[in-house]
Amino acid sequence: MTAPRAGSGAMFDAIAGRYDLLNRVLSGGLDRRWRQNLVHALGLAAGARVLDLATGTGDVAIAIAKAHPDARVVGLDPSARMLEVARRKVDAAGLADRVSLVEGAAEQLPLPDASFEAITMAFGIRNVPDRPRALAEAVRVLRPRGVLAILELGEPREGVLGAIGRLHVHGLVPRLGALLSGAREYRYLADSIARFPRPDQFTAFLLEAGLRDVHVEAQTLGACHLYVGRRP
Ligand SMILES: C[S@@+](CC[C@H](N)C(=O)[O-])C[C@H]1O[C@@H](n2cnc3c(N)ncnc32)[C@H](O)[C@@H]1O
C-alpha cells in the first residue's frame, strides 16, 4: 500500500486520534490563543454564517459557536476521521444544532455562491495543493464585504529568535512528533512550515485572489501569522 500524499485528508486520517494532544504539546498550548485571536478578528455580527475550512477536529468551528451564540458554522474537511473527532467534540459541547460538518476539499466547495459572512482556515492552507483555486472558491462563497481569516504557521526568520524558532520547527517538532505519532507526518510538518510563503508573499496571493483590506499580524514572534482580508 502506498503512503497517502503528505498533508492530505488521508494522512490526517492516520493521526486523527492523536492530533489534539500533539497540537497542544508541539505549540506549548499557544495554538489555543492563536485560534481565539482568529475568532476575534472576524468581528461577526449577530446571526452570522461562518465556514471553517480544513476544520479538522473542529476547534475553530467550536470556538466561533461558543463566542457567538447565534452564529451558524459549517466545518469542512476531507478527512473523515478528523471529522469523527470533531463530531464527538461538537456533540459534547451541545452545539450540534449550530455546527454542521461536511466532508470536502477547499478547492471544490459543495456550497452556493455568496452564502457566508465569514470564512476561517487555521493551519490548513499549507496542506492545500492548489491554493489559488482554494482562495478563488473561498471568495466565491463569501458574501460581498465578507471576511476571510487564515492562520498559518511560519518559520521565524531573523536574529536569535529566528534561530530558536528554526530549532523548534526542525529539531523539536519532528522528534517530538515522531515520538508521539508517525515520523513521516511530523517531518512533513517541519518541511511544509519552512516551504510556506513569507507573509508578504502570501499577502500578495490574497490580493491576487481578489481580496481587499488585507492585513497580516504576527503571532508569538512570527511563529504563526494571522491574515485577514475582505471580499470587495
Ligand atoms: C493541521 S490540520 C488543521 C485542523 C484545524 N483547522 C485546527 O485548527 O486544528 C490540517 C487539516 O487540513 C485538512 N486538509 C488537507 N487537505 C485539504 C484540502 N484540500 N482542503 C481542505 N482541508 C484540507 C486535513 O485533513 C487536516 O484536517
Q: Give the cell for residue 100.
A: 454542521
At CB < 8 A and 24+ separation, what contacts does 110-116 make? 111/51, 111/74, 111/141, 112/141, 113/140, 113/141, 114/140, 114/141, 114/142, 114/143, 114/144, 114/146, 115/49, 115/141, 115/143, 116/49, 116/50, 116/51, 116/74, 116/141, 116/142, 116/143, 116/146
62 lines ligand 1 (CB under 6 A): no
Choose between 223 and 90: higher pLDDT. 90
Task: Place 223 in a pLDDT band, splitting at 50, 70 and 90.
Answer: confident
Q: Which residue has the higher pLDDT, 71 or 26?
A: 71
Q: Is 127 in the pocket of ligand 1 (CB under 6 A)?
A: yes
CATH 3.90.1170.30 fits 9-230, yes or no: no
Q: What is the whole-number distance in angstroms between the Cα of residue 52 and the centre of ligand 1?
A: 10
pLDDT tens-digit profile of 58-91? Answer: 999 999 999 999 999 999 999 999 999 999 999 9
pLDDT, position 1: 54
Nearest atom in ligand 1 to the alpha carbon of residue 77 is 22
Mean pLDDT, residues 108-128: 97
The set of residues, in sequence order, having a beta carbon less than 8 Å from that of 210 and lying 6+ positions away, is 136, 139, 231, 232
Amino acid 179: pLDDT? 64
Q: Which of 12, 23, 32 most suits a substitution to test ligand 1, by most atoms within 8 Å of the C-beta?
A: 12
Q: What is the DSSP letter of 171?
A: I
Quote the CA–CA distance of 198 and 157 in Å, as a whole number: 9
Q: Has residue 3 got a pLDDT over 70?
A: yes
Domain boundaries, the chain: 9-230
